Structure 1
Amino acid sequence: MITIIYDPLNGYAVPDARAEDFVRCLKDGQSITVSTENVIQFARALVVEEGLEVKFMFNGKIVEHNEYAAINDWPKGFCDYTHFWTSRILTEAVKKRKRKQDEPVNSNK
């Protein structure tokens, strides 16, 4: 089993395009600290696809997953930057669209 510790501030930054190679190079018994969500997500894919035995850790606690790589009790701050930014973008886009729809139509054409 490998252990991947997610530390977004102090972990090793793996380039997105190298996440797959990085995970595949990890050896049984190895523990690595990363700050890159894609490493975690690729490892989760390998849990389902190839039966990878991996333990995820965050803030000193094990992040439990099942054989389908589902995490039922997702800790706040664990690999959620993509969700945070997507949510922020969508929220602001809705507000912007609403403002545009509420603008009076210019009839001086």
Structure 2
Amino acid sequence: MLASQTVTETRGNRASLVINIVSHSLYLLSLPVIYFVSMFSVMLFDAPGSEHYWPALVFYYALKCYPYITIVMIALAWILFIKRQYRWTYMLNAVPIVFMLLGTLPFVILSE
């Protein structure tokens, strides 16, 4: 432990490092799956009039944007980790999950 680091900063460093590694590994493993799912996402609009169905549009765009958002959030989380802003890395790690939940939430609400 460096002399300039406090005990809480070291704990935050370890926790943030573990969360970064685990969540980013899972995100990177999900990218090939999202690729195959997004290949078939155009079939959301097969039914007549489905191009105006807003939950399908939200899900389609969430699916198409997920890889880009994931890669950007991973890069930003590591940049903030290097700058020792550990609290921001927790929020950035949650953005891809929240983004996909917001994409699927309209289907869940309207299916009831």
Global fold match (TM > 0.5): no
TM-score (norm 2): 0.28
More helix by share: 2
More strand by share: 1
Larger-Rg structure: 1
Per chain length, whose mean CA-contact separation is higher, i.e. which structure has more relative contact order (CA < 8 Å, sep 6+)?
A: 2
